[in-house]
């Protein structure tokens, strides 16, 4: 809990400073800050990473979200630099991440730790690439990146808190966590199928 308190304090102290430094035109820090919550697929995937990390417990509460954020930054740089890696597949993988992350939570996380890391890293890259490609032309890359990283961390923390709240209910709470995963998976499937139907 001490690490969580320190991280929360850091976010609330740094967030206003960065925002003030870049202004309020919505094309820099604020644009990056709002980007992860602008799409339901991004939001659900990032919440799921936080929930999954709590479900795994121990050091994974910090290492799983950290892996996502680190690789997401790499993906963001790749997208910003205009390196073409089939954007259409990136969009599909983002929706697929919601489905699979929800499935992993719903089944009580029966995958190996290595697979979870690879899984989270791949989807982190996909989300980051989408952020980089969609960055407004006039935005400052540094402030935009700072915005979407802090926003992502905040969403992960919300997911971790959801996991903690459910975990306090012990067996019943863990069952509710799995039901939550099933709902997330269903929403992901709906988005994926809707995309293909259009």
Confidence bin at 101 (pLDDT 50/70/90): very high
Distance, CA of 112 to CA of 101 (rounded, Å)? 14
Q: Nearest to residue 69, comparing CAs of 133, 153, 126, 9?
A: 153
Q: Residue 1: its pLDDT value, please?
A: 47
The HSE-up count of residue 188 (CA atoms within 13 Å, CB side) is: 28
pTM over 0.85: no
Distance, CA of 92 to CA of 83 (rounded, Å)? 18
Distance, CA of 16 to CA of 9 (rounded, Å)? 12
Which tens digits make up the pLDDT trace of 52-78? 999 888 999 999 999 999 999 999 999
Confidence bin at 16 (pLDDT 50/70/90): very low
Q: DSSP per residue over 31-94, as a string?
A: HHHHGGGSSHHHHHHHHHHHHHHHHH-TTHHHHHHHHHHHHHHHHHHHHHTT--S-HHHHHHHH
**Span of 80-89, 91-100, 189-198 with lowest mean pLDDT:** 80-89
Q: Residue 67: its pLDDT value, please?
A: 96
Distance, CA of 13 to CA of 70 (rounded, Å)? 21
Q: Residue 193: its pLDDT value, please?
A: 87
């Amino acid at each position: 809990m001490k690490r969580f308190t320190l991280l929360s304090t850091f976010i609330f102290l740094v967030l206003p400073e960065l925002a003030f430094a870049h202004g309020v035109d919505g094309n820099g820090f604020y644009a990056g800050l709002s980007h992860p919550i602008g799409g339901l697929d991004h939001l659900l995937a990032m919440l799921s990473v936080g929930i999954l990390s709590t479900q795994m417990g121990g050091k994974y509460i910090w290492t799983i979200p950290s892996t996502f954020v680190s690789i997401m930054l790499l993906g963001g740089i790749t997208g910003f630099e205009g390196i073409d890696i089939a954007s259409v597949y990136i969009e599909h993988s983002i929706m697929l991440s919601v489905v699979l992350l929800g499935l992993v939570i719903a089944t009580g996380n029966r995958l190996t730790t290595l697979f979870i890391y690879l899984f989270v890293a791949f989807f982190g890259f996909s989300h980051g690439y989408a952020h980089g490609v969609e960055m407004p032309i006039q935005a400052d890359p540094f402030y935009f990146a700072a915005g979407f990283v802090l926003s992502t961390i905040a969403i992960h923390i919300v997911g971790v808190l959801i996991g903690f709240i459910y975990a306090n209910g012990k067996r019943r709470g863990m069952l509710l966590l799995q039901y939550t995963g099933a709902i997330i998976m269903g929403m992901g499937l709906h988005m994926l199928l809707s995309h293909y139907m259009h």
